[in-house]
Amino acid sequence: MKALEIKNLSKSFRSNFLLRVYRILKGIDIGVEQGEIYGFLGPNGAGKTTTIKCVLRIIFPDAGEISILGQPYHSTEGRRKIGFLPEHPYFYDYLTGKELLLFTGALFSLPKKDVQARASDLIRLVGLKGKEDLKLRKYSKGMIQRIGLAQALIHDPELLILDEPFSGLDPIGRKELRDIILSLKGAGKTVFFSSHILQDMELMVDKVGIILNGRMTKEGQLSDLLSHTVSSYETVFAGINPAFLQENGLPFTRRDDAFIVKSETSDEMNRVIALITGNRGRIVSVTPVRMTLEDIFLKEVRE
């Protein structure tokens, strides 16, 4: 049973004068397994937030199916299993962090005693111990993101949906938020988050889906995507005269007494190796350079 399953999701909007229809989602298919971190990747305007809003029933899809832990997404049972942090969270400025969590817990009709205990645990989890009695208007952007994550967890959801959670955070804030999300995975939570910050995504996700112009162009385990994509080959060798390399049109760099040649294809790499060994050179190493998530994403965009 998947934590989140989306099949053939479509959504269109009409212009202000109802003269033109804009197709935002064009048959989205997504599968998120329980206990994994799923990174939903795409440029601005690709349809990430629209997809999330459909899952949350903030807007209604034109067609398609959505299920949450085996339950229809519109059912009460399915919806109570979701925690959500929007891209730009806004809370009542004159509430304290603790008051926000108690208020959110009351919205879920949780017993007051349970909410108080849960709030204290979450404040520690998100690193706001000692700041819980500070008014939210005095919170920094990073602190708002943390308390927003805490309110999304107050009812102990099984699926956490985060829309651009790293937006606007400095490097320290992003690192701290990554650590919190990884700890949630360790506690058995499923995390689905959208982002266009590829470095953060590559450091934490199990599975990635790429959406472009309202269509899913790639989905799979991050380890599989990276392991099967080689961008170039790096050959390190020694014992060759630099003039010979220049005569044969091999651009190179030097590292101490060795030379490095980068080849774009395996055929080019084999040609380099043949030239070196055929002239009594010594091969030190041949290393395939794997593509990063950023390389894969840019390749999808350009195609």
**Predicted pLDDT at 298:** 67
**Predicted pLDDT at 303:** 65
In terms of CATH, what superfamily is 4-226?
P-loop containing nucleotide triphosphate hydrolases (3.40.50.300)
For the domain made up of 230-291, the CATH class stated in words is alpha beta
3-state class (DSSP) for residue 22: strand
Q: Structure pTM?
A: 0.78
**Predicted pLDDT at 39:** 92
Instruction: Name beta bridge partners: 298.
Output: none
197 near 166, Cβ under 8 Å? yes
* Confidence class for position 50, pLDDT limits 50, 70, 90: very high
Q: Where in the chain is the domain with CATH 3.40.50.300?
A: 4-226
Question: Quick one: 278 exposed, middle or buried, by C-beta within 10 A (0-12, 13-18, 19+)?
Answer: exposed
Lowest mean pLDDT among 24-28, 101-105, 170-174, 236-240: 170-174
Pairwise CA distance, residues 66 & 77, whole Å: 14
Helices (H) and strands (E) in the chain, counts: 11, 14
Number of C-beta neighbours around residue 272 at 10 A: 23
Q: Where in the chain is the domain with CATH 3.30.70?
A: 230-291
- Scanning the chain, the segments in alpha helix (DSSP H) are 48-55, 76-79, 97-107, 112-125, 141-153, 171-186, 198-204, 222-227, 242-247, 266-278, 293-302
Is the confidence at residue 227, as pLDDT, over 70? no
Instruction: Name beta bridge partners: 30.
Output: 6
**Predicted pLDDT at 18:** 67
**Predicted pLDDT at 120:** 92
Which contacts of 58-61 are long-range, i.e. CB under 8 A and separated by 24 or more positions?
Answer: 59/11, 61/9, 61/10, 61/11, 61/25
**Predicted pLDDT at 167:** 77
Region 64-84 average pLDDT: 89
**Predicted pLDDT at 68:** 93
